[in-house]
Amino acid sequence: MSRLDSPCLWREKRCKALIFAPDLTRTMLMDTYEETPTPKIQSSLHQISKALPHLAANVSNIVNSPLAAFAETNYSASTAQQVAEVSSALSNVSLMIQDIESISQELDRLKKDLKAAATNQSRLVSAVLRVPIEILANIFVLSLLQRHHIHAFYPILRVEALPSAALNVAQVCRKWRHIALNTPHLWNIIKVTPGGHTPILSSLISLPKDLLGRSASLPVVVELRIGGALIEEDEDFNRLPGNPEYDGVQCVDVETAKYVDCGPIFQWLSQFRCITHLTFKQVLFADISPNSTASLDHLTHLHLHLRQKLDATMFIKSRTWQNMKSLTMMVWNDLDDEILQSIFLHAPDLEELFVLAQACTLSEHQRSISSPKLRLFSLTTYVDSFSEESTPSIVSILTFPALSDLVLPTPEDGDINQVRRFLARSQCRLNSLTFTNMSGRDDVGGLIRQEAAKVQQEFPIRAIEFADGLHKTRLYCETRDRWYSYDI
């Protein structure tokens, strides 16, 4: 066989046509099926089928021969001639059996070959391989989503833009690889994890430019995970120069395995000129200054997950957050009204506020707090501390006339008169009122539901909701999902 007649080259020619020349592919496929000896095969099978009745009749004659009448008796051939005749007949039957077995095996082999060919060629008309590129891209994105159970403000579903993850589907075929490498949603979340035991300068923590390029025009989310690495400020810079290649980065998550100083982190952040969403977990802000946060002018959404109230206060007071629309603050110790005073003073246009702490109390120098623009207010605790008898309620000094959604912990004694007074004072129209910390509160659960129903009638509220904690509330889940959406 010459090289031009090589089956490998024949298949290679058609495979390349499938990929690079769709019109030529259709022509070659038609030519291919015209070249196949299908009519001859069908003719041969038809002849075999026509011969089978004649063969079956001859076999029936042998099976029902005169010898069959003696086969089930004790009769035995008595003469040499009878023995020779029976032996000859049995020899002929054995030869016929061998021929039938040989033919049957060959037909079975041909059947298996045809089945394999049909299976392989059915891929040419497979619905899976004809799925539109847009749908395949969405399937790839969803297939890479990973579940996380971090008890903080991180997405339940998250794509990590690691080559080993996105390239899992890219290894299937050339078409899937092309789709995977050109699907921006697979590459717009980048995880950066500085490693090693020696200190690393903040200016040396860079992003992979090839991934940034693949994210196209989508907003990029950068996750900085600082484990055991020690990050230091680069003394050659006060702030790192803005990097135009990083202008697509709009969301940054910073998480440390241990509490670290904010100086090197803010220096690293200074090279991002368009950050709108920022998350801090376990970062110390004791030495923060207005200059540290100068690069955060565009910040609209902020999440702080800190241990001390002082860190939260220092960060909020470091500047006026003119563009801040949404703030989530989780602190492991108690908070009081002073932190709320600072929040509304330094973020005058705030529309969403989630506060989670061990307890929320009134300070000695309590003052009324109001905000004309706040639409969602959530003040929840890790423990049941919202009670007039045990802890003065911070709600008593709040006035939010534009509020549409309110989340509060369940009162320990089931009395929600504070909520009534707040609604009457604010004159707001709520879409929803949510009570948290309902788990294990069978003693007041029924009373709360009754009182909530009365409040719903008194101040027309569309929905009264209950949840075990902040993370189970509908409002928090919706906000979390929007935080990492592709439309930030």
Q: Where are the beta strands (DSSP E) in 126-204?
A: 146-147, 157-158, 189-192, 200-201
Rounded mean pLDDT of 190-198?
Answer: 73
What confidence tens digit (pLDDT) does each residue in 101-139 have?
Answer: 998 999 999 999 999 988 888 877 877 777 888 888 887
Does pLDDT of 338 surpass 70? yes
440-483, pLDDT tens digit by residue? 555 556 788 888 889 889 998 999 999 888 888 999 988 888 87
How large is the greatest C-alpha to C-alpha distance in the chain, in angstroms? 131
Say yes or no to pLDDT of 238 above 80. no
Q: What is the pLDDT of residues 167-189, one digit of tens each?
A: 677 777 888 888 888 888 878 88
Q: What is the per-residue pLDDT across 471-487, written as a single tens digit (0 to 9) for each?
A: 889 999 888 888 766 44
Give the β-pairing of 249-261 and 220-226. Answer: parallel
Cβ contact 469:355 at 8 Å:
no
Pair type for strands 231-232 and 200-201: parallel
8 Å CB contact between 295 and 265 = no
Beta strands per DSSP E along 391-474: 398-399, 405-409, 432-436, 463-466
- Give ∠ CA 392-374-327 in degrees, rounded to 5: 85
- Helix (H/G/I), strand (E/B), else coil: 301: strand
Q: Is the pLDDT higher at 388 or at 458?
A: 458
pTM: 0.68
What would the mean pLDDT of 193-213 be, rounded to a whole number? 73
Residue 63 to residues 60, 96, 109, Cα–Cα distance (Å):
5, 12, 28
Contact partners, residue 299, CB within 8 Å, separation at least 6:
275, 276, 277, 278, 321, 323, 324
The 8-class DSSP code of residue 240 comes to P
Check if the beta carbon of residue 193 is closer than 8 Å to that of residue 179. Answer: no
- List, in order, residues 6 or more apart from 422 with CB less than 8 Å away: 395, 396, 398, 399
- In sequence order, what are the residues at sequence separation of 6 or more whose Cβ sits closer than 8 angstroms to the Cβ of residue 162? 191
User: C-alpha distances in angstroms, 355 versus 335, 359, 377?
Assistant: 9, 10, 8
pLDDT of residue 151: 37
Residue 349 has pLDDT above 90, yes or no: yes
pLDDT, residue 105, reads 93
Q: How far apart are the C-alpha atoms of 201 and 235, rounded to whole Å?
A: 9
- 213 pLDDT exceeds 50? yes
Look over the chain and give the mean of its residue pLDDT values, rounded to a whole number: 77
